[in-house]
Structure 1
C-alpha cells in the first residue's frame, strides 16, 4: 500500500493488476486501484477535483483531470473515510501514477492534497517505482 498525508488528510492507494481484462499480446495491460481517503483533520472537507499524471514503462506521460472521483464529490466530516476503486489501462507491462485532489473546507478555502506515487507492475514482475 502507498500512503501520503497532507493537512491531516490521509490518502492510501492499493493497486492491483486485472489479468482478466488485460491482453498482453495486444499490448493492453489493465490495473485497478483502490483509494481510501481518511479525514484525520478537525474540519469538514469536500473533494472537488482530481489530477493524475500517468507514466507508462516507455516514459510516455498522460495527464488526466476532472471534477470529483468516479462521478462523486465526497464530503468528509472529521474522522470520516471515503473509498473508491477505479482503473487505468497501459500499453506497457509497467508504469506508475501520481496525482492530487483539490479540496475545499467549511470556510470555503481551496487546497490540494497529495495522492502518493504508486507503481503499476505485473504480479510476476519486480515492484518498484519506475
Structure 2
C-alpha cells in the first residue's frame, strides 16, 4: 500500500495480481488496484478527470486520460472519502503506475492537481 497527501487530499492505493491470460497470441499480466481518495481539507472538492502513466518492465508506456474515475466525478465534503477499483494489463510481470487527478475546490473555485504516488505492479511468481 502507498499513500500521499496533496493539498489536503489523501490518496491510498492497494494492488493485487489477478492472473495471466492470452490475448492476440501473447501472454498478458492482469493487475487490479483499489484507490481511496480522502478529503482531509476544510473545503468540499470534486474530482473532474484523471491522468495515468502505466509502465512495464519491457519499457512499454501507456498514458490514460479521461473524465472522472470509472464513470463518476465524486464530490467529497471534508472528512469524506471515495473508493473505487480498476485494473490494467501489462506485457511483463512487473511494472508501475503513477499519475494525478484534476480537482476543483468548491469554496475557492480553484482547480488543482492531486498526485497519485507511484506504485509497483508485480506478479508474485516472478519474485525471487
Same fold (TM over 0.5): yes
CA displacement 1:106-129 (0-9 Å, x = unmatched): 1221000100100000123449xx
Structure 2 unaligned regions, length at least 5: none
Given candidates 21, 24, 39, the residue that maps to 1:23 is 21
| Partner Cα distance (1:101, 1:94) in 2 | 24
Q: Hey, which of these two has a bigger chunk of strand by percent?
A: 2
Alpha-carbon distance in 2 for matches of 1:27, 1:4: 33
Question: How far did 1:27 drift?
Answer: 1.8
Alignment root-mean-square deviation, CA: 1.5
Question: CA separation in 1, counterparts of 2:54 and 2:85?
Answer: 16
Residue number in structure 1 paired with 2:125:
124
Aligned twin of 2:36: 36
Structure-1-length-normalised TM-score:
0.91
SS at match of 2:124: coil
SS in 2 for 1:18: strand
The count of corresponding residues between Structure 1 and Structure 2 is: 125
Q: Deviations over 1:70-99 (max 9, x none)?
A: 000000000001000000011111100000
Structure 1 runs (4+) deviating above 6 angstroms are: none
User: Where do 1:96-115 residues align within 5 Å?
Assistant: 96-106=96-106, 107-115=108-116
Which stretch shifts more, 22-31 or 83-92? 22-31
Report whether the alignment pairs 1:13 with 2:13.
yes
